[in-house]
Each structure stands twice: as structure tokens, then as C-alpha cells.
Structure 1
Amino acid sequence: MSIELSSIFKAKKPIIGMVHLPASPGQPQFKSKPDLKAMISAVAADVKALQDGGVDGLLFCNESDLPYTTRVNSEVGAWTTFMIGAVHDQLKL
């Protein structure tokens, strides 16, 4: 199934900003005693900077989950949902 970008964005050539999430629980880069408040603040700052910079859309990614695998563990999906939910009220796009 294909979705035309023109049905989603008003811009003829939309600019999509990437929000990089911190490493997910269970991943090697995840800190054993994470400062969730600081992590959420960092994601919120990225969202704000990208929106203030005029992007047309946002993507969220888990590039910090190294090494890459071909299977997504349940904690990755839960973490991504949690982090996006934490900044949901700030999303304006």
C-alpha cells in the first residue's frame, strides 16, 4: 500500500526531522540507572528544535539500540511508545 506524501503534507517537498531516542532497556547502550527525566528532556528538546526549525514532519528512531538486530524485542516497542507518549503534548505537526 502506498500513501502519497501530498495527502499528508502541504509542502511540495516536505522536510522530515529525525528524533533520536535514547537506548532501549535491555540494549547494551542503556544505562543501568537511567535518568528518565533527563532522557525525556533531551527528546523534548529535539522535538522543539525541529519544530521551531520548520520541519514538516517528525520521525522517531532508535539508532542508539546497537548492535542492530533483525528482530524487534518487546521492550523496544514499549520504550518507543513510552518516549513518544512523554512528549506527545508538545507535538504540533
Structure 2
Amino acid sequence: MIELQGELERRDAAQPGKDFMFGRITRSATKEGMLELLIGYHLLEGTVVKLKKPLAPAVEYKVVGVVRHKVLFKNRPRALISKPDPTRRG
């Protein structure tokens, strides 16, 4: 389950029936217990948080899983690369 605050926009036109992969989650190589979400050239760092109450759909639906943990990204994304300054030479 992915919970986002704000909007996530695609640069290419969405194609019906095609899967949409927006990023990659990996364990941090430098910070123990942290996860990193890489979306394009933006990096978010997060931690795994146990939910107080498991999240599941209402009884009318067939339950295929219960979400007990989420990854919490508290800080704004960090740009890994930046565009070169056209006015700067050298």
C-alpha cells in the first residue's frame, strides 16, 4: 500500500492496461533501519512504523491481506542531481 501526500505526475502519457512503476524502495546503505524511496532523481528517506490498529477493508470485501506496518517519509524529497547553471562557466 502506498500513501502519498500531494500529487505524483507522470511525464509520459498514461497507457491504459500498462503497469505504472513510479520508484524503487531499498534499505539505506549508510543509515541503519532507514529505507530509501527513489523516484526519478528525488530521494526520500523513511522508517518502518507499526500501525496502532491493523488496516483492512470492510467485511463486504474478500480480505487478501492486512496492513500492519507502513513506511513513513517525514522529510521533503532530496534532489540527487541538479541542472547545471547556464550562466556559470568553467
- Output the TM-score relative to the length of structure 2: 0.26
By percentage of residues, which structure has more helix? 1
Rg (Cα) greater in structure: 2
Higher relative contact order (CA 8 A, sep 6+): 1
